[in-house]
Amino acid sequence: MKQFVCRCEDVTLHELLSGIERGHRDIESLKRYTGFGTGHCQGKWCLATCARILTEQGGDAGQGITPRPPYHPVSLAELAGIDPDWG
């Protein structure tokens, strides 16, 4: 049975522990390796769990992760600057 630690990016506990075993022993490096915290919630649901598991395995959770914009999903029309009232 798969145990997910990040629902947005489908990161499993096995993948997280594998990343720690491969030497990703700080939270930012582990995030970049596994992809947790990069989905829609930007780590709101998974950061605390992943940080706890990392520290239990002897790693350093440090100051947390660096969020990357956009914090909320943006439509392609908004990014392209298309006027929604245009006909």
pLDDT in tens, 14-42: 999 999 999 999 999 999 999 999 888 88
pTM for the whole structure = 0.72
Other Cβ atoms less than 10 A from the Cβ of 40: the count is 12
Q: Give me 26's structure tokens.
A: 């700080």
Residues 61/51, Cβ–Cβ less than 8 Å:
yes
Residue 73, pLDDT above cutoff 90: no
Of residues 5 and 63, the one with the higher pLDDT is: 5
